[in-house]
Chains A and B, each alone.
Chain A
């Protein structure tokens, strides 16, 4: 009885503190958060027409697309963005054979030390090397890029909500502000040094538009439109973030079908065991 009385008193006192000192001032000063000016310009992520080949429970990589995406990364993104958790040997998973992987790795320059005197040298990449970092350190990265450090791209597709579509949307999001929104917020203006991107959460992004039609020329004859390259780089970065994606889903099917079968048997077995204990 004492415990219950104490409980009731403590409960009432505690609730009173909450209601009178936290809730009441909150109600008196109630105001919904104001929408920042730029939020009107924001457009949610979009998906390319037809989606990506690896989406859905039965999705598979499109190796041709991943190879094109690698080309976009190498010729466009790599100038500023690293891919430090990926090794050249991993490119073998994109359908390149061993000799091709070796040749692709050799196209990159890797910092190393001279075997004789220990001085800094650059040598051709080997399959076992990781993708090189574009900058020596964060300070240099910041100094070269107007104070905005270009993030590493290895995990970008998992480091943003709905990452694959985010990358694709960001690549095609360098548009002009919608005139209607602009009319409503005439003050709004993209600061110099930043670029308007309707799919970026802050609208103004430090990265200049990376893709323009024909900035790379695809060896497989695909036309290098901005839209096409955006899809390819989004696919490639999805692969770098989650190389085991397709294997994982295939394994999942196998395991779930097995589990359904096993659970069905377990149910029948349970029914048999309980047959004589249930109400007849």
Chain B
């Protein structure tokens, strides 16, 4: 090999060497850009597909909900709890000193604006590690604060879905929703 290596050095001017290097650098960087841009479709194909992104609203009929009663449905592949809070629950929740909470939110903040009927809409996903808390169904454990209880790691939420005890860091998430008529809400 020694002789071929020397052979390639001989007889090439300083200018020649520079031009040669420039071509190789340009060719290699172009190949690099091409190779790197292949990664873009390969990565983005794993992002949510168009049909998943499109299935983004859920309509819930709330006409038959009695005070204190909940309905479980699903929103974006996750459980959704819709509850008509009873007067007692609202009073109890409103009486708590907000500053004492881990994730301070008032009842109004939980329910959203223009929500005189006390319709509480939240994702049934524990903010700790994602289990479905109990408390929305008839006869399920409601935990120590008369709201929701997550059996996986023992998080207790109150009737407004605010975290009160246990490892969960946040209140149950409230998705965007709107009243489309007296009897239905559209979530998402």
| Chain A contacts to B: CB under 8 angstroms | 87, 89, 115-116, 126-128, 258-259, 261-262, 265-266, 268-269, 272, 276
Contacts and interface: CB of A to CB of B under 8 A. Distances in A.
A266 B24 CA distance: 8
A268 B54 contact: no
Nearest to B19: A272
B2 to A, nearest CB: 15
Nearest to A88: B54
Given A126-B57, A272-B19, 18 more contacts: A89-B54, A115-B61, A128-B54, A258-B34, A262-B27, A262-B31, A262-B34, A265-B23, A266-B31, A268-B23, A268-B27, A269-B23, A269-B26, A269-B27, A269-B28, A272-B20, A276-B8, A276-B11
Contacts of B57: 126
A257 to B, nearest CB: 12
B30 interface: yes
A102 to B, nearest CB: 10
A30 to B, nearest CB: 54
Nearest to B50: A89
Interface string B1-45: 000000110010000000110011011101100100000000000
Contact of A272 (B11, B24, B64): B24
Nearest to A258: B34
A76 B27 CA distance: 56
Nearest to B21: A272
Contacts of A128: 51, 54-56
Contacts of A259: 34
Contacts of A127: 54
Contacts of B64: 116
B54 A265 contact: no
Interface string B133-163: 0000000000000000000000000000000
A269 B61 CA distance: 69
A126 to B, nearest CB: 8
Nearest to B61: A115
Nearest to B10: A276
Nearest to B55: A128
29 contacts: A87-B51, A87-B54, A89-B54, A115-B61, A116-B64, A126-B57, A127-B54, A128-B54, A128-B55, A128-B56, A258-B34, A259-B34, A262-B27, A262-B31, A265-B23, A265-B26, A265-B27, A265-B30, A266-B31, A268-B23, A268-B27, A269-B23, A269-B24, A269-B27, A269-B28, A272-B20, A272-B23, A272-B24, A276-B7
